[in-house]
Structure 1
């Protein structure tokens, strides 16, 4: 009987995945190594251009194969030892094996090629990339998932294409305080036996751990995302965390009962400590709530704010418009130079923060409005005279055309576009060209070292309108 069971187990095991030897031709826009096999594209995370690698097949479609890197047979001269012990399992930082100068060249090329795809932008000057002064330990916020495997609690990121959590409580990109908090929370969840959410069975309490750090003050705000309101377990966790990591000044609970992949729910409850985290970037102090978006790299964010302020060239009589203003980081910097700044943002919680930040920085010339971007910009045409300066800092998807048209309709003398996606940046700059605005220069910024992402700041000016010389009928010239 036992022999039959053993044979059944053996027969139920999957055969080992076939291993291919692939020549990696280039990195795609996500930093994933790309080659070909049998007429199909092969994508291999962790492989670099010019390498020969051994790859097992994880998924095969009609045109594409997703491979898993097994061995590097012929390494690239630009490969370096990874500073992360979890890099091959996590795959969250696709360039972490690549030497820093090669990372910079990759990002510079991403921006240049995106612009070159549009005839209207081929003459635009692309400045050399601003490299990050701190390539590791720069992330001041983290969104980590809870998981459990064989009874052991994990705190980290989902493995690509799965619900398995890779434990990365010591991520080299995170600020050291984030790693201390993640390790402490993992130990306490294990010790207190708190029910971790299972995304397959849709059961459990703890879903995500969010940490924000103010690097200047070395203080942190922690948010537990749970499936339901819970005071007992979360309060116990918060007290133990505060005891073990006194730098934690705020603990919040966000309730997300949905079964989808959205991190935040609509309700946020304060468990202990301050309601927000006070931070400082450049010359402004900022109050950041648990769910508001804010840049993860303070050093580079400060450089972008300063550049936007420099390019705006505002005078004491000017008006500036900041679209997708978030908690007001750019708007507050501009407000020091002009008569009025109007910030527009869809997220009401961020607008609340922005208004409080204006009061905290004693900048009464800031106004912040919550609502649909296109509608609110159109309304501004009644109160903003031509000649203002407009700043736009949209999400990765860029702007809808009606938003760009509404902005151009304000007839600002200058536009500054801050983008985290070269593709949508180039698309929108081309639309602005059709609307009468020429892109003078673009400044790439390495906001996210070790990853393929690159931030860019573009400066646009009103293109001179072509005026036709008046023609006179023959014999009628004066």
Structure 2
């Protein structure tokens, strides 16, 4: 991928830009295998072929810092002096996403949304956050310092909806503090629709404004598909999806177990025998539960489950606290964990080690913290692992592992 911003030295976020993409992917596989090679329980792991991504145009999200002036806003990043650097032409963004950014910059001017000046601590508009669905529909969130610009945004919103016909959800997020925090707790939805439909891997996931979703839709679909395949292999009667987000893994697991009202088994061959009413082969109903600290994400997951008739349950709460409060008799057959970059941490890793959970599906965006967590879980051996390149042009990637108890 050729990038004028990188060549000019104004943005160096893509630290691997210029390296052939096959070399990038091979280096990530080597990195993951080397890190996990130091973990005794990973010695016999079977590594599946890595999942590649398009090297450009793959991002479904644009997280743009707003700088400049009302009449000449920049959407991109800030330089070392806190001045706006415009990156509207970033080649990582999907084409419809990139096409929306100049329109949103024009809206900043039309609605007179004064960009927040970080050094001077004045202004209103801090970020513009844009998410693109597989159907080409958009969610746009304006992160503002206060509710002062709300009336102007509402006044000019019909223009924006007319110019961007794929725009479905628009909101104001209020983040009043002067610190490096992307968004605040308060969200004001300005459109009739309050969620964006993200179609991925046969699931229609509802994404509300403060819900997390993977940056790369194509690779996310592969991640959920691999998770579903491992679930079919393990055939658990009960599943917990900790850090479940909008429920991708939990919902994929429920479907993989045949938990559909019509008795069909998604992903199975056309000749596979159906089962009544979302049941396991012995007639029992699988119990799938997702736990997520974000109430917005739980609302998204619950909406998806109800609209698609998938009998998975979701609760809002801290993943570690939920696990530690569980009675030994209630430990599930499979725990899925997809934590943030900091990993599980000692408390949850120790609980997984001592709980007796027979199987764990661990999806990680940081192989270093994954390796540290695995060191604390020596009784859980990696059976299979796979690198999925969620973030081309950078050193980051996703690595998914299936662990089974051997002691």
| Aligned position for 1:223 | 141
| Structure 1 pair 253–149 and aligned structure 2 pair: CA distance change class (3 A) | closer
Cα distance between partner residues in 2 of 1:429 and 1:237: 52
Inter-CA distance 116–144: structure 2 relative to 1 (3 Å threshold): same
Residue 157 (structure 1) aligns with:
77
> 1:110 maps to what in 2?
31
Q: Distance in 1 between matches of 2:70 and 2:156?
A: 22
Mapped to 2, the partners of 1:418 and 1:150 lie a distance apart of: 42
CA pair 409-343 structure 1, distance change in 2 beyond 3 A = farther
Measured after TM superposition, the shift of residue 243 of structure 1 is: 1.8
Name the counterpart of 1:21: none
Whichever structure has more strand as a proportion of its residues is 1
For the pair 1:381 / 2:327, whether they are aligned, the reply is: yes
Structure 2: state its 5+ residue gaps.
258-279, 281-285
User: Which position in structure 2 is the counterpart of 1:332?
Assistant: 251
Structure 1 Cα separation of the partners of residues 236 and 366 of structure 2: 33
Q: Unpaired segments of 5 or more residues in structure 1?
A: 1-81, 466-478
Q: Are the equivalent residues in 2 in contact too, given 1:147–1:165 (CA < 8 A)?
A: yes
Matches of residues 81-160 of structure 1 in structure 2 within 5 Å? 82-87=1-6, 88-132=9-53, 134-148=54-68, 152-159=72-79
How much has 1:204 moved relative to structure 2?
Answer: 0.5
RMSD: 2.0
Change (3 A) 1:444 1:450: same
Contact 1:181/1:241 (<8 A) preserved: no
Corresponding position of 1:394: 339
From 352, 360, 365, the counterpart of 1:420: 365
Deviation at 1:240, TM superposition (A): 2.5
Superposition TM-score, scaled by structure 1 size: 0.75
Report if aligned partners of 1:393, 1:418 keep a CA contact under 8 Å in 2.
yes
Q: SS of 2:191's equivalent?
A: strand
Distance of 1:220 and 1:380 partners within structure 2: 40
Question: Larger Cα Rg: Structure 1 or Structure 2?
Answer: 1
Going from structure 1 to structure 2, the CA distance change for 1:128 and 1:162 (only over 3 Å counts) comes to farther
Q: Deviations over 1:168-193 (max 9, x none)?
A: 11221111222122111112323554
> Of the candidates 134, 143, 153, which is equivalent to residue 234 of structure 1?
153
In 2: Cα distance, 1:107 partner to 1:419 partner: 13
Pairs within 5 Å for 1:262-277 = 262-277=181-196
1:259 to 168, 173, 178: 178
Distance 1:84 1:149, change over 3 A: farther
- Aligned residue-pair number: 376
